[in-house]
A = this chain, B = another copy of it.
Amino acid sequence: MMQNKYLVIYQDLLEQIEDGIHPVDSYLPSENELKGQYQTSRETVRKALTLLSQNGYIQKVRGKGSVVLPRNKFDFPVSGLVSFKELRDKLGEDNKTHVLALETAVPSRHIKKQLMIDDDDTDTLVTTVIRAREINGEKVILDKDYFLAEKISGLTEQVAEDSIYQHLEGTLGLSISFAKKEITVEDPTEEDRESLDLDGFHNIVVIKNYVYLDDATLFQYTESRHRPDRFRFVDFARRHH
């Protein structure tokens, strides 16, 4: 299995950082050393280091080297595109997924708008998946996913209970490229009250997510509605001067 050289270097170094071979506050080997170790050019080494830097693992300091940054164990993968399955695997708590709906149909006005489908368009079908996420016996997250039906297939209840993303990227070979997220706090809807264990909570955290493929086409809109006590968002942002 051949890979891009810079990705091999990236993954190598990442593993070494996670294994503590390069502890926090220590310096990675210099770009010249790495260039020798991997029998490659300096620009290729730099590509790997730039990726590590973008993902918050190292900081490059002029005249000194690349320092390993501290990482909080609980950080979710850097700023998003995080699915419930990944999250659940990290947290390792008791949990369950209830599939409340799974259907393919002509979407409502509101969903058409979110997916940039023309209002007059009555041909484009959208697959809707609604799931309640249960953690430690309480239903605390309501996930409402809307997919362009033409792009997906084989979406069964089984798949929806596990990980849709795995299905998309693994089985269907779709390549997710980027996403736009918006986080707000709203009043719970009737649906929220019915589907979740809201107890005494008066608010709900809403994450709206627009997901795009490699060819820049929008193909998914997701609304993830969290009970406030079960919401946490971690972000790493670099300033591009």
Contacts and interface: CB of A to CB of B under 8 A. Distances in A.
Contacts of A51: 240
A113 B212 CA distance: 39
A63 B238 CA distance: 30
Interface in A20-76: 43, 51, 54-56, 59, 61, 67, 69, 72
Contacts of A56: 178, 180
Interface stretch (A87-95, A102-110, A152-160, A224-232): A224-232
For the side of the interface on A, what is the size category?
Answer: 35 or more
Interface stretch (A121-129, A133-141, A143-151, A181-189): A181-189
Contacts of A236: 178-181
A171 interface: no
A241 interface: yes
A107 to B, nearest CB: 19
A16 interface: no
A203 interface: yes
A63 to B, nearest CB: 10
Contacts of A79: 79, 235, 237
Contact of A61 (B205, B216, B232): B216
A214 to B, nearest CB: 7
Nearest to A53: B178
Contacts of A118: none
A177 interface: yes
Given A212-B59, A240-B51, A183 B232 contact: yes
Contacts of A59: 177-178, 212, 214-216
Contacts of A233: 181-184, 233
Contact of A177 (B184, B235, B239): B239
10 contacts: A80-B237, A81-B239, A179-B236, A181-B234, A183-B231, A183-B234, A184-B231, A185-B205, A203-B228, A235-B235
**Shortest Cβ-Cβ A-B pairs, 7 listed:** A185-B228, A59-B216, A183-B233, A181-B235, A80-B237, A178-B238, A202-B202
Given A61-B215, A78-B237, 13 more contacts: A54-B54, A55-B240, A59-B215, A79-B79, A180-B235, A181-B233, A182-B232, A182-B234, A183-B232, A183-B235, A184-B233, A202-B202, A233-B233
